[in-house]
Structure 1
Amino acid sequence: MIKRLIALAFAAAATLCSSVALAAGGGPLLDSQVNINDKSSLQRGAALFMSYCAGCHSLGYQRYSRTAKDLGLSEEQVMSYLNFTGAKFGEHMKASMDPADGAVWFGKAPPDLSLVARAKPGGPNWTYTFLKSFYVDETRPAGWNNTVLAGASMPNVLWGLQGIQRPTYGEHGEIAGFELAPAGSQTPEEFDRTIRDITAFLTYVGEPAALKREAYGVWVILFLAVFTFLAWLLKTEYWRDVH
């Protein structure tokens, strides 16, 4: 029994460590504070993703029709504001760019992002921190680098909103922070919300069933509580004569 408890304690500690995993630059991942039950956030995130990310990145496991149903959007809204490739309503959300072209332009084809919020250590926190951590690096082919994924081929497509981050260095040559020069079209608070909305949308895409699962979970707990009470009454009745 003691060994089992120790094993559970180590497992819990490992989970905690993964949620606050260190980024490549040495800093902790930021808390994304995403809420997949906030449909307004998911709708904004979907619009932002399709406007800034879907040119290169597909969501190969997600369909336009499923997005409309889960996010409370009509077919007309999805096809007018989220579909830029001419795909049918029931088809998967594919990137506009040919993967072969991506391999030529960026060194490798941009990955499908359907599961990025689940696959990376730290989950949504990784995605959130990654999108906030681009900085100018003239040694890179695209002119950008990232503290979370050093040497990333992806340029900072959101620089117009965030502004251009330029690193400041510590006494040992490590990146100590960033300064915006020039600033973007959004304030830091507005940009935080933008990144949180994109992260929330990608978190939802990684497991669309979570929306219903979490809603059903409350009712399951209530059922188990009532069932436990009835089982206790039944046990009391059966054992009354034994005592």
Structure 2
Amino acid sequence: MKKILIALLFAPIMAFASGGAVHLDKWPGSVSDKAALQNGAKVFVNYCLNCHGASYMRYKNLLDLGLTEQQVKDNLMFTTDKIGALMTVAARSDEQKQWFGATPPDLTIIARARGEAGNAGAGADWLYTYLRSFYRDENRPTGWNNVVFENVGMPHILYGLQGQQVLNHETHKLELAVPGELAPAAYDKTVSDLVSFMVWMGEPQQEFRRTLGFYVLGFLAVLFVVAYALKKEYWKDIH
């Protein structure tokens, strides 16, 4: 019964993450770059939070990115006036299901859920490739398709930044037909920042955990030296 409940809980996320085996580009970002995380948070709030929630996060958690409370209120809070509120969407899930055919999944842990065995790095590669692989397809209800997630139901929300790509059916490669606001390299950087933020959301304390791990290993190394010296001192008469 427990396994069934877990499967039902993650079903929307896995539906979002499903797709055939394709080549994934390596995500070039990092969760240690505060400027990238801040830009990613801005892109997420302006483009993703309209439909997808991040309901395991609170706006006050964004202070950990090096932002002040006033900066968060002025630039990243549009649906609430409380800094401690959850990052949810205004639309109800039943309304979204009626509009889109399915409720858009929560994105708080999407990078970890998409990665193999919870590997956020693999999930980041998938997200980075996915968000750069939309192309025009008039046969789809939204007018968009994706080479990573074939017949995707989600429209290309970032097309204004990237422009419109088309799929060359002879080479099976994407070609930019209509340029967007950003040059291709700038768009890739924006997507990388957005993915950085989504990876960070899945585990906000991961950088602290890694740093603490180094301190613990250092302490154990020193303790080993002290313990070995004591052992030598206690056993010197025996040996």
Gaps of 5+ in 2: 1-17, 116-121
Instruction: Determine if the alignment matches structure 1 residue 80 to structure 2 residue 80.
Output: no
Contact 1:84 1:96 in 2 (8 A): no
Instruction: Determine if the alignment matches structure 1 residue 197 to structure 2 residue 193.
Output: yes
Q: What is the TM-score of this pair, normalised by structure 1? A: 0.84
Task: Give me the CA root mean square deviation.
Answer: 1.6
Give the counterpart of 2:177 among 176, 181, 193: 181
Q: How much has 1:26 moved relative to structure 2?
A: 4.7
Residue in 1 that maps onto 2:125: 125
Gaps of 5+ in 1: 1-22
Instruction: Determine if the alignment matches structure 1 residue 114 to structure 2 residue 114.
Output: no
> Number of aligned pairs?
216
Residue in 1 that maps onto 2:228: 232
Which residue identity lines up with residue 112 of structure 2 in the other structure?
R
CA distance in 2, matches of 1:96, 1:177: 38
Residue in 1 that maps onto 2:157: 157
Which secondary structure state, in structure 2, belongs to the residue aligned with residue 132 of structure 1? coil
Flag as ranges the 4+ runs of structure 1 deviating above 4 A: 23-26
Contact 2:133 2:174 in 1 (8 A): no
Assess, with a 3 A threshold, how the Cα gap between structure 1 residues 187 and 132 changes in structure 2: closer, same or farther.
Answer: same
C-alpha distance after superposition, 1:216-238 (max 9, x if no partner):
12211211111121122122222
Q: Percent identity?
A: 42
Q: How much has 1:24 moved relative to structure 2?
A: 4.3
Q: How much has 1:107 moved relative to structure 2?
A: 0.7
CA distance in 2, matches of 1:234, 1:148: 59
Q: How much has 1:82 moved relative to structure 2?
A: 0.5
Q: How does 1:206-221 map to 2 (within 5 A)?
A: 206-221=202-217
More deviation, 126-135/193-202: 126-135
CA distance in 2, matches of 1:241, 1:190: 70
CA distance in 1, matches of 2:96, 2:141: 14
Assess, with a 3 A threshold, how the Cα gap between structure 1 residues 127 and 87 changes in structure 2: closer, same or farther.
Answer: farther
Residue in 1 that maps onto 2:15: none
Which secondary structure state, in structure 2, belongs to the residue aligned with residue 166 of structure 1? strand
CA distance in 2, matches of 1:140, 1:87: 38
Q: What is the TM-score of this pair, normalised by structure 2? A: 0.86
